[in-house]
Amino acid sequence: MAELTTKIRKWGNSYGIIIPQEVLRGKNMKEGEEIDAILVKKGSVLRETFGKHKFSKSVKQLMKETDKELYG
């Protein structure tokens, strides 16, 4: 698996990404081979998940319980 950051570019009526030659060589891949790709918008993971989880207790109560467990 190779992880890289690249930009989406317009090619005619389509869009594509550029994979640097050194990444392909390092993974022994060549033109025409099929690959699986997972696309994630840079920086979006935290923005999408932050604030969506609702706790059953307040942060203050959770901190109090954590302190009690750790320090007696």
Distance of CA 48 to the CA centre of its chain: 11
- Of 29, 4, 5, 6, nearest in space to 17 by CA: 6
Specify the pLDDT at position 10: 94
Flag whether the pTM goes above 0.85: no
pLDDT-derived band at 12 (thresholds 50, 70, 90) equals: very high
pLDDT-derived band at 61 (thresholds 50, 70, 90) equals: confident
Task: Write down the domain spans for the chain.
Answer: 8-71
